[in-house]
Structure 1
Amino acid sequence: MATTYKVLVAGCSYAGLSASVHLLDQCDTMSSPISVEITIVDERDGFYHLIGSPLALADSKFAEKAWVEFKDIKALQRPNVTFVQGSVNNVDCFNKTATILERETQKTRTETYDYFVTATGLRRPWPVVPQAATRKEYLEQANKHIDSVYSNTAPVLVVGGGAVGIEMAAELKHVKPDLRVILAHSRSQLMSAEPIPDSARECVLDAVVRGGVEVLLNHRLKSQTPVTTPAGAPAQQVEFENGHTMLASEVIFAVSKSIPSTTFLPVDALSEDGYVNILPSLQFQPFPSGGETAPTTSITRRHFAVGDVINWSGIKRCGAAMHTGKFAGLNMYHLMLEDVTGKAPELFELDPIPPMIAIAVGGEAVAYGPEGMSHGPQIMRSYFEEDLGFRICWDHMRLGEVKA
């Protein structure tokens, strides 16, 4: 083909990987091949299995597996795919250019593109997400955390009874059964912020307690003070607003407000909370052009957003992220094919996503969705297997397959 389409993907977690892999699969078809060059920009040097964080920060062996450097993802080792470790600082949707800050050189460069994919996800603090940029730094950070948690006889306190806090507490207890783990939540029910029924919340609580984790409801942390135990070990004296006090070897915060990583985009493309306003096709919604009233439909149709950054219904999950990435990859291909053949594309459109979630609680799991609720060890095996879903996600995106 005379035309080679340049695609710039910002972010390389579940959604960015899925978009890239599905676009390449379509462009490689023998019946309607498309020449494409993909540049993937990410702050890390590899793919981190985010939903495996609770296990990665409890088990050093799994921590090794949870981060895969981009050079080891076989599906993307091809001459028309380039990885850049850095961040996108600015996107000019009208001129289709992006400013990239490279991590190694700390220099900026301008990249032109034909299609742009925003897959930068949400900003989450440590220890919900490792803050390291390289696999080496991440392993040092994870192992230090694991050593500090397991080297003291005082109980470990996990603050926050949302999905992350529950899974962190459960995995610590599951990996080291003799460790005393306490989960504190400020509300009267676990997962109080999620749009799920009380029956599902109660089922999760029962599973957490069965797993050996002690649960303190209606306990809002007031203060923590560094102290030394009689044995000479460092610890934290913790006080809650209800007056309850305790000694903890470590206080692990699983309470945070996730912030969309979208400051590099035009403000007109974003919701008040910073999420990208999209059409069901995952394309940007049209927005005013430089103060003009005419919507920039012809411009925004070349810009896609996928994964956790989209302003869409449903609980943020890796399954939804991979699904949106797939649709974006397929739709970009069909738009490219339209340029070549003149045939109007039939774009895949995202349906409203109802509340659904699966929580790993040690040796069992609780799942809730439109079809109802299910729980038990068999649900753990079905949804997460033995590695909190790593193999399932890896194989679903076919990341280990060598492409032609």
Structure 2
Amino acid sequence: MTSSTNSKDNRKPINILVIGGSYGGIAVLNQLGKLLKEKETKTETGESDGVSARGAAAKVVITLVEPKNGFLNVIGIPRCMVSADFASTQFVDFESFKNFKFDKVISSDAETAKIAARSNSDSSKPDRTGYVLQWIQAKVTKLEESYAEYQMEYSGEKEVIDFDYAIIASGRDRTYPVAPKARSKKEFVDEMQSFVDSFKDKDVISIVGAGAVGIELSSEIKLHFPEKQVNLIHPHATLPPEPLSDDFKSKVVASLENAGIKLLLNTRIASEADGFLTTTDGRQIRSDFTFWTNSKNNNLAFLGDKIRKSYLSPAGNLYVNKFFQLSYNDQTLPNVMGIGDVVELPIIKTAGWAMYMGSLVSQNIIELLSGNEVSNAMIASEDIPKGMLLVGGNADIISQNQGKIEVNNKEFVELYKTYWVDRIVYSYNNA
């Protein structure tokens, strides 16, 4: 793929590749665009020397590679899996984000082409001359140190894109349909409705694995289908598994039990057959419908051999330094960065952390473009607060935030009516 050049200068554009359009990816699009606009303004007024790496006239091209034609609010997935109507509110078309309107959309899908046409004629699109923002509806299939290969959705056509900087924000895969295959709102809603249809006529539902997804999905099923028996099966004595306080965990357990969810702790499943789950100690549990939420893996299959061998941890995470550059032992790849779920950092992975990382990475890229050293670092591990918000039984919001443990904090209850999606969209339209 060949990027356009600045009409006033034949210098090669500076290409920034963003892999993934979830929380971290959209934070990069928003913050990087905002910072480039500020730099452009300062250059025009003589306060800045522009992008000194290639001169003030060099065009910056930011390219998002993402197969979905919108932002999917994945923290709302458990509720989406019991309500197709709610699911329709959690898939937000990229058009809805005013701060990063695309200058160019590349897709082989007819529906996406309509988005592209509207984007190209949109009078509300920001007036910018210093950078170009484009979106390719595709999946990255290979990432090397200076280029990526991708495959277009729908057509399957394969292309190559060169980059100067790349941000890996590809997120995490879970059991389908917690990680849906949908590329559009309609496909997503259809997938969620199909899941509801698969269990709605079953009497006994079992969720295996009591991480955040398992806890919230069992809670949502019981809330929306109170007549069903819901089993939540977990191999350990407490839940969730994250390093949180005993008080928080006990409040989660109490919330689930108060809602009538049957907790089966210290229970491992050996097999499933003929409507029964058999445990490793020989017990049998009736289950008309079983859903497993006990596995996850990062979307990093596209890593080239050199990056994989040098920067992938045994746990399947990317080794990064405090500036989010790929780094391990004495090796650092300064132009490739990882954020969000995919990084090897001692934190409880959340959407908030992904957006925070996206903001810092954007600032670091601006420093690199200006010929400076990166300086925006992740806070020290000993200063990272342990926190989590969970939707428990009866739609309780259980939170551990800045050391404070609460059930149904009024602000959080309000935010979780839409699973934060309104706040996210608002923040990227009014910042």
1:205 and 2:253 aligned: yes
Q: Which residue of 2 aligns with 1:181?
A: 230
Q: Is structure 2 residue 418 aligned with structure 1 residue 387?
A: yes
Distance 1:38 1:363 in 2: 40
CA distance in 2, matches of 1:62, 1:224: 31
Cross-structure match for 1:269: 311
- CA drift at 1:11: 1.0
Q: Normalising by structure 1, report the TM-score.
A: 0.84
Unaligned runs of 5+ in 2: 1-5, 44-49, 52-58, 104-131
Aligned to 2:152: 102
Q: Distance in 1 between matches of 2:296 and 2:198?
A: 25
* Distance across 2 between alignment mates of 1:189 and 1:217: 7
Partner of 1:170: 219
Give the 3-state SS of the residue equivalent to 1:44 in structure 2.
coil
2:119 aligned residue:
none
Please state if 1:124 is matched with 2:174. yes
2: CA distance between counterparts of 1:310 and 1:161?
23
Which residue of 1 is the match for residue 29 of structure 2?
A: 20
**1:31 matched to which residue of 2?**
42
Deviations 1:233-278 (A, max 9, x none): xxx3333334443433321211113335254241212223332221
Map 1:4-15 to 2 at 5 A: 4-15=13-24
Aligned equivalents of 1:177, 1:379: Cα separation in 2: 26
- 1:350 corresponds to which of 370, 378, 385: 378
Native 8 Å contact 2:231 2:261 kept in 1: yes
Q: Name the % identity.
A: 22
CA deviation vs aligned residue, 1:282-314 (integer Å, no higher than 9, x gap):
2222777xxxxxx5x5xx222221111111110
Match of 1:92 in 2: 144
Q: 1:262–1:332: structure 2 CA closer, same or farther, 3 Å change rule?
A: farther
Does structure 2 retain, via aligned residues, the 8 Å contact 1:101–1:109? Answer: yes
Alpha-carbon contact 2:96-2:425 (below 8 Å) kept: no
Residue type at the aligned position of 1:366: I
Matched, 1:365 2:413: no
Residue 324 (str. 1) matches residue 335 (str. 2): no
Aligned to 2:324: 282
Asked if structure 2 preserves the Cα contact closer than 8 Å seen for 1:366 and 1:379, the reply is: no
Deviation at 1:164, TM superposition (A): 1.0
Contact 2:324–2:339, Cα closer than 8 Å, also in 1: yes
Which one of 389, 406, 413 corresponds to residue 374 of structure 1?
A: 406
Q: Is the 8 A contact 2:173 2:299 kept in 1?
A: yes
The corresponding residue for 2:117 is none
Q: Indicate whether 1:257 and 2:296 are aligned.
A: yes
Q: 3-state SS of the aligned residue for 1:313? A: coil
**1:245 aligned partner:** 284
CA displacement 1:328-385 (0-9 Å, x = unmatched) = 11211222133xxxxx356211112343211111422222245242223536416x43
Aligned length in residues: 372
Does the 8 A contact of 2:140 with 2:302 survive in 1?
A: no
TM-score w.r.t. structure 2 length? 0.79
RMSD of aligned residue pairs (Cα, Å): 2.5
